[in-house]
Amino acid sequence: MSRPAPDTVPTKSARRHAAPPRRKFIALRLSAWSDWDRQVIRGVQRFAHDRPDWRMYVEGGDNVSSKTFAAELTLDGLITSVLRDMSPAWRQLIKRLDPCVVAISSAVPQRLSNIPRVRVDDNKVAASIGRHFLAGGFRHLAYFALPQPGAVVEDTRLKAIGDFAAREGCPFHLLPAPKVRGELSAGERMRWIQQLPKPIGIAAWNMQEARRLVTALDRAGIAVPEQVAVVAWDDDPMLAETLEPTISAAVLPAERLGFEAAQLLDRMLSGAPRPVAPVVIEPTGVLRVRQSSDVSTLADRDAHLAMQYIREHGTEPIKVTHVASALRLSRRSLEVVFSRVSGKTLHDAIMEVRLERARQLLAETDWPLARVADRAGLGTEQTLRRLFLSKEQMTPGAYRARFSGV
């Protein structure tokens, strides 16, 4: 058998002194240090753990100087949720790093519309929020974000909730753009809020905007949630629960968003072409229902109290008779009012709560299916499987594979 030519076999000394792979300096710039941002960081870090050549620089908050950020870092790639910073230094940095920039935002300025993106499927989030409002008897819907004239070419959250309202035949209301460049004044926001038809359900761009909205409603003497119910588009438990009333929110897969953004950036750093369309991640559709949209004190109180009881006890072995007994009502009278207000039966409402809990456990834990079924109030793995095949058109295992984060 012939041997390789001597010059094709690296010597032991050459192997020992081989140059390590070149380091890649990656920046992650976020708009804040919220719980959502921290989850994004964890997702990026998860990916970076398997990339010894990656060196991470993380920065967040509105006080980051674009000029300093651009000047002090020699970067190979960038992941950012900050897209409205149109300072010359920031634009120059993005242009220099193109195409190795990945955006993680649902709102994109015109001049940055070609940046590769990873985002959550906002249509599914909007459907979860919208169905929650409809179940509470809200037939007018609105969207609250501070518009910036000419800056945003696409806000997928706005489009998603507007499309949901159109499909359901619900009047839809949008905070108007300011007449001059900049944000709406507090007085302009207040007038918009006061002129809205009541009752109304308002989806807020994020938790910070939801807090701003709830504070404005309180100052205007508008009852939450009796007149206006509020749900934030993404959850931050610390912010949500340090205001009275506490604020309901959708649960977004922020950690998976960070992981997928890092994975996309790594592919482009390796020479892969820029993707034509955004990478879209499916959320679980889970909502954290808190006081800002808890409708137990609204008209048709019995139906709303029943829904509240089901949310609190639905994963326990309860039946329709338990709900009626807890509210000291006859089963028949409760079923009639509940069906009229919510459009569903009490049994269906109980199963929806159990399905939502099962979705959450499948996405957030690695528990065996039998344990998931038990903790969700479904009893057996067979019942869990039947429910998922009926409602999700997939098995629990397939659902976990799709939504279980990173």
Residue 82 sits in the same domain as residue 157: no
Residue 33 sits in the same domain as residue 63: yes
Residue 276 sits in the same domain as residue 308: no
- CATH code (residue 352): 1.10.10.60
**148 domain residue, yes or no:** yes
Please state the length of the chain: 406
- CATH code (residue 145): 3.40.50.2300
- Select the more confidently predicted residue: 6 or 135: 135
**332 domain residue, yes or no:** yes
Write the pLDDT tens digit of every residue in 155-202: 889 999 999 999 999 999 988 766 665 566 778 888 888 899 988 999
What is the separation, in whole angstroms, between the first and last Cα of the chain?
Answer: 48
Residue 228 sits in the same domain as residue 197: yes
Instruction: Tell me: pLDDT of 60 over 90.
Output: no
Instruction: Tell me: pLDDT of 406 over 50.
Output: no
What is the pTM assigned to this prediction? Answer: 0.72
Residue 221 sits in the same domain as residue 128: yes
Instruction: Tell me: pLDDT of 340 over 80.
Output: yes
Whether residue 21 has a cis bond before it, omega within 30° of 0: no
Task: Give the Cα separation of 406 and 402 in Å (integer).
Answer: 10
Token digits for 96? 């220099």
Q: How buried is 63 (Cβ within 10 angstroms: 0-12 exposed, 13-18 middle, 19+ buried)?
A: exposed
pLDDT on residue 11: 54
**7 domain residue, yes or no:** no
**286 domain residue, yes or no:** no
Residue 190 sits in the same domain as residue 262: no
Residue 334 sits in the same domain as residue 352: yes
Pair 212, 145: CB distance under 8 Å: no
Residue 171 sits in the same domain as residue 90: no
Task: Give the Cα separation of 35 and 238 in Å (integer).
Answer: 8
Residue 143 sits in the same domain as residue 173: yes
**17 domain residue, yes or no:** no
Residue 212 sits in the same domain as residue 318: no
Q: Is residue 2 very low, low, confident or very high in pLDDT (cuts 50, 70, 90)?
A: very low
Q: Enumerate the β-bridge partners of residue 398.
A: none
**346 domain residue, yes or no:** yes
**4 domain residue, yes or no:** no
pLDDT on residue 148: 57
| Side chain identity, residue 386 | R
Q: Is residue 7 very low, low, confident or very high in pLDDT (cuts 50, 70, 90)?
A: very low
Residue 356 sits in the same domain as residue 247: no
Write the pLDDT tens digit of every residue in 88-138: 777 777 778 888 999 998 877 777 778 899 999 999 999 999 988 887 778
Coil/strand/helix, residue 377 = coil
Residue 350 sits in the same domain as residue 369: yes
* Mean pLDDT, rounded, for 346-360: 91
Beta strands in 93-225 (DSSP E): 101-103, 107-109, 118-120, 141-144, 152-155, 172-174, 200-204
What 8-state DSSP symbol labels residue 6?
A: G
* Mean pLDDT, rounded, for 341-356: 89
Q: Is residue 154 very low, low, confident or very high in pLDDT (cuts 50, 70, 90)?
A: confident
Q: Give me the number of domains the chain comprises.
A: 3
Instruction: Tell me: pLDDT of 319 over 60.
Output: yes
Q: Is residue 34 very low, low, confident or very high in pLDDT (cuts 50, 70, 90)?
A: confident
Q: Which structural domain range is residue 155 located in?
A: 122-252
- Select the more confidently predicted residue: 17 or 282: 282
**369 domain residue, yes or no:** yes
